[in-house]
Structure 1
Amino acid sequence: MAKRQIILDTETTGINPREGHRIIEIGCVELINRRFTGNNFHVYINPEREIEAEAIAVHGITNQRLADEPKFRQIAQSFFDYIQGAELVIHNAAFDVGFINHEFAKLQQALPPVEQYCSVLDTLKLARDLHPGQKNNLDALCRRYDINNSHRTLHGALLDAEILADVYLLMTGGQVALALAAEQDADAGEQQQLAIIRKGPLKVIRANSEELSAHESRLQLVQKKGGRCLWH
């Protein structure tokens, strides 16, 4: 069964929804079986209130920029339909989920809390488990995993979701590879041998210099992260 994950981030008018702060941007990146599908979700939202100056300094989004954008109630159902049933992958999930649940509860016909129809994976908790005692914000993780985020001068929901997707895949790549190997070993005894009919000799396609260089760079990265390279 295909596993659907949504890497999600939001931008807001301030830090506490209980003080009336609202979501102003939602960015989502879809993964199915750890592969990008291109079926992303991105929307700016008119919050119907002023954005705090401290928040503008973080994301650069002003009330003037959002004046003609839809209200949350106008995009709520499409957003709900998009994330329903997926595993949400969020950095500091309590913040974003708290805002989403607050917005859903404000609707005339309230939508249920996120936890009732999605599972949630908090990559901040995951990073702290993997790298205890170290900085684990998104910028620090990009440095740790050699992800180029030089274009990230301000926060943005879709941009941060795209970066987080890369971080998440690198953080969990080794674990998935081990799990896959175990599954393959378990299934090996149940698989039937298949006869392969060959018409003439197999064609050997050799890697060119650019491909060999890219392969070597990847092996060096694996070693740098503490992995073992059997191909070196």
Structure 2
Amino acid sequence: MREIIFDTETTGFDPKSGDRMVEIGCIEMINRVPSGATYHAYFNPERGMPAEAEAVHGLSDAFLADKPLFSACAQDFLDFIGDAPMVAHNAGFDFNFINAELALCGLEAVSRDRMVDTVALAKQRHPGAKLSLDALCTRYGIDRSHRTKHGALLDAELLAQVYVELRGGRQIGLGLVAEAHEIVAETKVLVRKDRPFRQPRPHAATAEELATHAAFLKSVDAPLWGEG
């Protein structure tokens, strides 16, 4: 199963008021294991960066001045995400910005049917607990010491680890049916290919064992298991 874990950085909170996306980072996961494939880009927002937003992610007007417009990268982004589910923390926020940028390019929106929100998953798994990415990293023992400011690709990498934990833990990504094993559908038995198959040993009691058991029962007053 292919999934895309992603995060965005923006000039503010609302694309309807003119805020724009300035960074996106995506991590490809196959069967809940990072494949090593990523997509990362900065964009010139064609507007000034508010001081409050720059304080969060550190992306200044000067840094973004020579970066491409989203429209120049839109198709590369769409090619990378394909039709995979899209996983983000507070995913509605990120979907709003992605689809606003796509609309400005005259391109079709990414369907919200593909959206997986890790905040919603965390609410179900840890009701009443803090749900920030930092709080979840602390809960699951994920090292974020290198995270001094928000960054889309770094946050996506941290979220990928959190997502695996929210889905049940790291064992999900292990290849439990590896080269040395195969599931025999008819018997539902896990068989080691590197060992010879042995027929099950008989477990019926011998005549001597039955006689010993009968003698034992006679020594017990009114045994509950003596009838039948």
Quickly name the TM-score band, shorter chain normalised. Answer: 0.7 to 0.9
1:208 corresponds to = none
Larger Rg: 2
SS at match of 1:40: strand
Alpha-carbon separation, structure 2, partners of 1:112 and 1:163 = 29
What residue ranges of structure 2 are gaps of 5+ in the alignment?
Answer: 177-181, 197-228
SS at match of 1:65: helix
| Alpha-carbon distance, 1:187 to partner | 3.7
Alpha-carbon separation, structure 2, partners of 1:111 and 1:73 = 10
Alpha-carbon separation, structure 2, partners of 1:23 and 1:146 = 30
Alpha-carbon separation, structure 2, partners of 1:171 and 1:71 = 35
SS at match of 1:173: coil
What is the RMSD computed on CA atoms of the aligned residues? Answer: 2.6
What residue ranges of structure 1 are gaps of 5+ in the alignment?
Answer: 199-232
| Alpha-carbon distance, 1:189 to partner | 2.3
1:153 corresponds to = 148
1:168 corresponds to = 163
Distance change in 2, residues 1:92/1:191 (3 Å): same
1:88 corresponds to = 86
Distance change in 2, residues 1:157/1:185 (3 Å): same
CA contact (8 A) 2:183 2:190 kept: no
Alpha-carbon separation, structure 2, partners of 1:54 and 1:70 = 23
- Given the two structures, how large is their TM-score scaled by the length of structure 1? 0.74
SS at match of 1:151: coil
Alpha-carbon separation, structure 2, partners of 1:42 and 1:195 = 42
1:73 corresponds to = 71
Distance change in 2, residues 1:186/1:11 (3 Å): farther
4+ residue runs over 4 A deviation: 174-177, 190-198
Q: When you count strand as a share of all residues, which structure comes out higher? A: 2
Which whole-Å deviations, capped at 9, do the CAs of 1:131-190 have from their partners, x for residues lacking one?
A: 11111000000110011101111000000000000111122134975xx99xx9894626
Alpha-carbon separation, structure 1, partners of 2:131 and 2:71 = 34
Q: When you count helix as a share of all residues, which structure comes out higher? A: 1
Distance change in 2, residues 1:10/1:56 (3 Å): same
- Given the two structures, how large is their TM-score scaled by the length of structure 2? 0.76
